[in-house]
Every structure is written in C-alpha cells, then in structure tokens.
Chain A
Amino acid sequence: MSWLFPIYLAGAAAIIAPILLHLRRRPPQDRVEFSTLMFLDASTPVPVSKRRLENWLLLLLRCLALILLALMFARPFLQSESATSSSADQATLILLDRSASMRRDDLSKRGLAEVERLFKAAKITDRIALAVFDRELTPVWSFEEDRNTPANRSAALQSRLAMLAPTWSGTQLDRALIAAVPSFDASTAKLKKRIHLITDLQEGTHLDALRTIAWPAELTLHVHRLDPVTNDNFAVALAARDEEGNADALIRIRLSNTRDSALRDFTLAWDKAPQTDSITAQIPPGASRILNAPPNSTNRATTLTLTGDKYDFDNRLFIAPPQPRAVRIHFLGDEATRDEAAAPLYYLARALQPTATLAPVLTAGKAMPAQKPDVLVISGATPSAGMHAALRDFVSAGGFLVEVASSSADAALLQTLTGIPGITVKDGDANDDYRMLADVKTEHPLLKPFGDPKLRDFTKLRFWKHRQIEVKDAGNKLETLASFDNGHPAILSARIGKGTLIVLASGWQPSDSQLALSTKFVPLLYGWLAAAGFSHDPAATLLVGEDLPLDAASACIITEPGGKTHSLEAGESFTTTGIGLYKVQSASHTQIFAVNLPPDEGRVLPLAPQKLAEYGIKLSSGADSGAAGESTDERLTATDTEQRQQSWWYILLILLAVLLLETWFAGRTRQNTLAAVWELSCLLAHRLSTALASTEMCWLQENHGRKCVNDLANR
C-alpha cells in the first residue's frame, strides 16, 4: 500500500479530538423540578474529565470516520502494479519533426543527435521505434524491426538517419500523433509506453485534430523542444486576391513579424530584377500586413524574396508567370467581314480579347483550317452539305461547335450533327416587335457565368429576329438551355461524341438581336470556353504537400524545381514535396505551378509543451534527465496508478456508511438503548457459550461411547 499524499495521514491525529471530547464531562444541561432541596447537599463540583470513556462504540465510529477521511485524502494505491511496470522494459516511439521550420540553425542536427542519444540509452530489452513527421507520419524504424534485430539497431539507424533531412512541408503534429498511437503493436502491450517528441513545437503546428481522439491512459508523451538561437522571423505568404479590385496584375502578399521580435526593417524584391523593383519598409513586432508586391517590370521574375531576418526558409514566395493558354477559334465564314459592323465576326473578334489565362486566336475562313481548331463558330452562312460530315467528325472528336441557325437550310446540318431526323428550322414570327429570353437554365454548366443571381437579368436583351427550331423525337439528346418568351427554343445544346454542340436560334449581330451589344455576350462566350476546358480561372497557388491539378484525361511530364522529371500516365496524381515552380507538360499545353511553403510554417514562436496537455495528452516532464526528472516521472506514474485504482472512492463509501452508522448510534444512545444492545450481545454470547458447552458434551459422550465400543471389540 502506498500513498499519493502521505502528508494527509497526519490528519488521522485528529482522532484525539473526539477522544478528548468523550473524556470531557459536559456539565449536564438537564433541569429537574424537585419538591425541596432541604435534604440535598451543596453542589459538588463538576469534574472536567471522566475516569472512563463512555459511549465507546460511538467514539470508535467517530475515530474511524476521521481515520477514513485522512486515508481518503492520502489517496492510497497498491504499489505492486506500478512497481512492476516501472521496473519493466519500455516501448519508446521517437517522433522527429522534419518540417520546414526545422531548417533553422542546427535544429535538424540537434534533433538527430537527440534521436541517437535516446537510441543509445535504450536497453536491449526495450523496444524503440523512430518515425519522422511533417504533414504526415513516416516510419523510419518500427517496433517490428526492433523486435527482430534489436542488436544492430544502432548500425541500421545510422544509415537511415543519414537520409533524413528537413522537408518543405508544414507541421501537422495532430495527424502525426494520431497515427503514432496505433503503432504500439501487440508486442509492446506489456511494456511501459511512451512517445518522445523531438520538435521545435512552433506556433504554426496543427493540433486541432487531437480533440477528436481520446489519448490512451497508459501512453505518456515526452516533449524535447528544440529552441533556435532566436525566434525573430519575418514570414511572407500569398494573400487572398482582392475580389473587388479587378487588378490581375497586382499580387497581394501577407507579411508578418514574430511577437517580441527585434527585427523591423525588411526588403522585398523580385529575384533577378532591377534594384528599383523592391520595397524597403518596416513592420513592427507581432504585426501582420497585407501589401502589394513590388512592380514586376520585366514580368519574368517568379520569385519574391524577403530579406532582413536570419532564417530564410520562409522568405521566398514563388509566383507562376502569366501563361495564357492559347485557344484556337475558327469562324466558318468570310474573313473580309471582320471589320464590318453588321457581321457576326466583327463582334466575335472584339469579344474574344486575350486575358491573363486565355489567349484566344480567332481565325476566319470558309473552309476548315488545316490545323484542327479548338472551337468552331458558324454564323450567317450555312456550310455546304459536303462539310456536314467533317463538322460532325470535328464535334465527335471533342470539338466545340457553335452554330447559329440562320435559315431553314440549317436543318440538314443539325440533322447530320445530332442524328435527329425530326429537326426543322424555319423563320420565326416577324410580326411582333421583339422577343426576349425566358426560362434560362442558369444552373447548366454552359451558362455558369449567370449562376450569380445578380447577373440573371435578361430583360434588356431583345431579339428582333429568330428562327423557329422544332425538334421531334429528340429523346434526351438535345437540351434547351434557354427559350424565347413565345416558347420556342433560343439556345440548344447537345453532347455529340466527345464534343459539344451549341445551337443558337438567333444571331448576336444587331440585325438579329442585341446580344452582342449586351453585357451578357462576353460572359456567355467565356463560359462556353470554360466549359470546353479552357478555364478562365487563374491557377490557384499551391502549397507544399498538395496535389498538382492535372488533367486526368492525358499523360504529362512534370519537371520539379530541381530539374527532376516525372512521367505520369493519365489519371495519376502528383504530390508536391518542395517549394518552387513545377512545370507540367501535357500533350495540349504546358503549365507552370508555383508551390509555396504553408503560411503556418512561418509562425515559429515556440509553444509551451503544456499546450498539448490541453488536448488531453498525458505529458511527462520534458527534461527526463536527472534525479528530479525521475522523481517527477515516478510521481506521475503513481498518480496514474492511483487514478486507475480509485481507492479513495471506496474509502468515501465506507466513510459515508460509518457516518450513517454513527448518526444512528448517536440517536439510539440518547434513548439509552446501547445498554439493550449490550444485553443482547451478552445474551447471544451466553447462548453461544451454552451451545458450545453442549457441543463439547456431545463430543465427549461420543468419544466415550466409541472408546467403550473399542474396548469391547478388543476383548
């Protein structure tokens, strides 16, 4: 039996109080009316103490209650289990941080040295394992390997440690710890389990997921925090794009300084750029500022570098250069009409302006170009019947065809393209002044730009002329995206083979409608281009550890910032591991992705190890060397054992029972029934002794009889 707080046992000395109280004679408070005092002596002095204890049973109960109270506060537990476990072998898992922040100073080297020290300190009967973590946990030396070859663990470790280096990932300690808990397998079940965490425990470490698990009671965590020379640090990260300000060229960055930092002055400049394209300013300690990047006059620089602090692991920001994707659009019509204000080509050429991500190249001609275009637009002139098959092949092979029905002759083309014989085209009713759009399916991918309710106002869009397209037995091949207010389809679409066909019942040129002059025209066109796979969205900035957004349909070659290339088959994914620019070459085009350090990694102020305790993790002292550490360790073990056994709870129950009994007895004593209890016990004792005596008599008689029988038999 051991005690967690033996000092409380001194409280048991309080039993002296009830003993003294029982010895003390309380002057009787009773008053008796008597006829006369003439025969009674003068008052005899009340003695302060009695010569013998009265109500000894009550006293016993009271003393017992006090002793139990003292015992309860002393928190007893059985040492045996704890003793065996403390003398037993240990199963130790070392978690080594290799996130980008470990690149500071010699943290990485110190971490490795700590690992080596722990390995050397482990006994041959101990089980020891090593895993490194950044975004995720990577086992280096498992318990399984350790159990199989415990002797050469040091040699094996040396070779594996040599391969370990800090990565560019963020620190997700929560995921690492959650993954580390199951790594204690069945072979370590009877060992004392602990995790040695070697990390810089920076502020940017992710811990939230720890709330989702219940930390095993038998597992303790030792934190070995590695502190660099200084925590002063600037960090730079890409800020969210300003949605309101439509300035594509401006890059907004977030710059922050650590709390209590001595640094203030910083310089932000593009690599390989003139000195004039830099910003030199001040940022106070603990502040975070969003500022526009310095002008990139050459437009070729891709790396924004921050200088002014000691650690440069988080000082570079990679920004992919503008890389508009070329989209070849062929207008099947007369090239000469490009500058005629009444011609559809005129408006198309002006609407398709190059943007940061798209570079549309519009060609025009009455014949199909030699190089297959991405998008084909037919408006005004109906292609000859000989071209119908070629057009169908174009669409089936994945082309994007926009066809404006201009006359009843277009019906044949549509029939060929869609394979629906029941399509007829005729001129719409011209009696009315104009038609408007009704029933626009804005949820359709081809009309995605109008998904925003603010942009759904089509009332200013008027159609002077339109063709009435009637479709019979279409099944679900042809879909109506928008209709005129007389119910006739205005925009139709169909998926043909791999490609897409869009049919408009009215042209956009002013002779047909106001579409080209309205605000809807350009979004409509770019929406179609986006649907055709030419995304208008700028490429999102990636962080280390994220997958590159690859086109699942085609194979590609990826060139890492270091120059290493990877060939990927279609459908494979690629996870970024370093910062820099990744070049992705696919059959159709080449893309460059900028991959940056996770912004949280730049928050390098160290956390207190106790922070982990807030997540329910059982911590032991970080400094586990020296007698003080050991004693604290033992203390923690004792606490664990005591908490597991919870003996005080049982003592409390007994204490309550004793107190109830005491209350009952105190009540009974007043009624003078203690004497009755005594008499009863005397009676019982008497009965018992009588019974014993009679049993003895029987036994004697039996023995005597047996003796007589024996004698007779002997004779």
Chain B
Amino acid sequence: MSTATSFLDPAALMRIKSLELRAKVVVEGLWKGMHRSPYHGFSVEFSEYRAYVQGDDPRYIDWKVLARSDRTYIKKFEDETNLRCQLVIDHSKSMGFGSLGYTKADYAATLAATLASFLMKQGDAAGLTTFAEGIEEHLPPRNRPGHLRRIIAELERPAKAAGTSLALSVGQLADLLRKRGMICLITDLLAPVEHLEKQLALLSAMGHDLVLFHLMDRAEIDFTFEKSAHFRDAETGAERFIDPQLVRENYLKRLQAHRDTIQVAADRHNVEYHFCPTDQPLEEVLFNFLSARQRKKASKSAAARVAG
C-alpha cells in the first residue's frame, strides 16, 4: 500500500509518551493533508434558513433577511448543526493484550484522543465513555476549551476492571445519551455478538450514528504463536493448554466467522464498521473513517434527493 509508507508507524507513535501530543501529531498531519484532499469533512455543513414558526426564539431571526425580503427566517445555530460525538472506549482486561510493544488499550486511547482532537479542532463536540463490566466514566460531548484535556486525562487512566460486558454497557449508554449524535465504539469485541446486536439495534433505533472500531492485535488475527503453552484468558483467568500448530486453523476459522457475524450485524443495523489491526497507522484509520463518512453523507443526501 503506497500510503502506508507516508503514515506514521504506530509503534513509533506509541513511543511518544504524551497522549495529547500523540493525537496532535496524527491530527496535524491529516489536517494539513486535507487541504489537498478532494474530500471535505462531514462537519462542513451548509447552514440554512428555515421559516419562522410560532414558538421559535425571536433572537434567532435573521433580521437582515427580514429587512431585505420582509420574510422571517430563522438562522440555524451552529451548535445544532455541529456533530455530537461520544467516544466509547472498552477498558476491559482483554484490551491489555499486545504483541507489538504496545497494547490494544494504548491504541484505542490514541485513536480516541485523535478523534476527539480532530473533532474539536473542527468545532464539533466530543465526549468520552469508558466501560468494562459496566460504564466506568462518562463525559458528555462538549466543545469547550479544556474539555479535550479532560478527555485525554480520562483516557490516560489505567484500566482496572476485569471482564467485559459489552451488551450491558451499551445498554447503559443508551440511557445516558438522550440527544442524538455519533457514537464511536472502540473495542476488541471479544464477546458473543448476539447480545451486542440487540443493544446496537436499540442505539441505532434511537437515531444515533454508530461507528464501530474493531481493534485486534496482529497476534490475535494471525495467531502467530509457535510453542505449546498454557494460554491464560486475560479476562476470566481460565487456563487452557494449547498447541498452536494444532488449533491455529480452527482458531482462524472461528475468528473469521466472528468477524463475519459482526460485519453482518453492523450492516443490518446501519453501523459503520471499521476493522483496525493495531499495526495499522492511525492516519489511515482516520482517513478511512472520514472517507466513509463522506460516502455515507453523499449517499444520504442522494437518497434524500430521490425521496424529495
């Protein structure tokens, strides 16, 4: 892949200690490149007028238009039009696994910080929710000076919980997020998909725009182990003697089935699904995400035109 060479090596990036700086490095790189990019971000919304209806706050009437055309229009507020993005991070023990010198949790934190940084840079609001067996921390989406720092501080806190209850946590999240917005779920999805699908369906039905970042380590994807050993489940602590050469084929098959199931579920519930191996450069992830958003927006507006 030609672009891969121009991106920062995740391993090199992860060596930067400060999460804030890490996010900044990624965002700055992409921001600069965006001016040459044919795509425009989803937040470049066209602000529009609408006719004043009774009950609207007269403060928002565009007096200039009223003076020129004698018609009352309401100017659409920026905060309404801007995106409210809730970053939902998996803090379970399984995220602590990593074979590349950094863990999935590190990668997830960097990704979240990058997204938050990027969104807030272009004026959108970003919030953060961490969960494991249930919701741990919740910061509602805001776009205020210092909010990014709070998010980053929250992201830097180490994970403490043991297991994952993805379905439960997503259910709790649905209660917390009343306003519609975008939900970026960053997790390794090491849980049965059936329960999750139900919650995703709920969130989707609530009108949230769901983006699912599925993080996986390279060792998990390819199962690169050679020697027989006792494998210990990071979350449950269960041990099982495994000869990798014997079980690899079966593992890969099951993993593929799992990913397929997730893909199918995502498609079914209109969830934007990104599969992110942790050795993939963050810019690429961000770029893919933006591209997907652009395509989605385009298809949405096309659909709207067809409908209109």
Interface residues of chain A, those whose CB is within 8 Å of chain B, are 27-28, 30-44, 46
Contacts and interface: CB of A to CB of B under 8 A. Distances in A.
A44 B241 contact: yes
A42 B247 CA distance: 9
B94 to A, nearest CB: 4
A35 B97 contact: yes
Contact of B234 (A28, A30, A33, A44): A33
Contact of A38 (B190, B217, B230, B246): B190
Contacts of B220: 35
B255 interface: yes
B274 interface: no
Given A32-B232, A34-B231, A44-B242, 6 more contacts: A30-B227, A35-B217, A36-B234, A40-B251, A46-B228, A46-B241
24 contacts: A28-B229, A28-B230, A31-B229, A31-B230, A31-B239, A32-B225, A32-B231, A32-B232, A33-B234, A34-B232, A35-B94, A35-B190, A35-B233, A36-B233, A36-B234, A38-B190, A39-B255, A40-B247, A40-B251, A41-B251, A43-B242, A44-B242, A44-B243, A44-B246
Given A39-B258, A40-B240, A43-B242, A34 B97 contact: yes
Contacts of B192: 38
A681 to B, nearest CB: 22
Given A41-B250, A44-B247, A30 B241 contact: no
B188 interface: yes
A36 B235 contact: yes
Contacts of B251: 39-41
Interface string B198-238: 00000000000000000001001000010111111111101
Contacts of A31: 229-232, 239
Contacts of B247: 40-41, 44
B218 to A, nearest CB: 12
A59 to B, nearest CB: 20
B254 interface: yes
Nearest to A46: B241
A28 B241 CA distance: 9
A36 B190 contact: yes
Contacts of A44: 241-243, 246-247
Contacts of A33: 97, 232, 234
Given A39-B251, A39-B255, A40-B247, A32 B190 contact: no
Report which residue of A30, A38, A43 has the largest number of chain B beta carbons within 10 angstroms of its beta carbon: A38
Nearest to A30: B229
A438 B220 CA distance: 120
Contacts of B246: 41, 44
Contacts of A32: 225, 229-232
B240 A37 contact: yes
Contacts of A35: 94-97, 104, 188, 190, 217, 220, 233-235
Nearest to A39: B254
A39 B188 CA distance: 14
B228 A36 contact: no
Contacts of B227: 28, 30
A373 B243 CA distance: 127
A37 B217 CA distance: 14
- What 5 A-B pairs come out closest when comparing CB atoms? A35-B97, A30-B229, A35-B94, A43-B241, A39-B254
A334 to B, nearest CB: 133
A349 B280 CA distance: 141
B196 to A, nearest CB: 13
A37 B254 CA distance: 11
A37 B230 contact: no
Contacts of B255: 39
Contacts of A30: 227-230
A39 B228 CA distance: 16
A34 B234 contact: yes
Interface centre among A30, A40, A42 (most CB of B within 10 A): A40
A31 to B, nearest CB: 5
Nearest to A36: B190
Nearest to B241: A43
A252 to B, nearest CB: 95
Contacts of A43: 240-242
Nearest to B254: A39
Most chain B C-beta atoms within 10 Å of own C-beta, residue among A30, A33, A35, A43: A35
B103 to A, nearest CB: 10
A30 B232 CA distance: 11
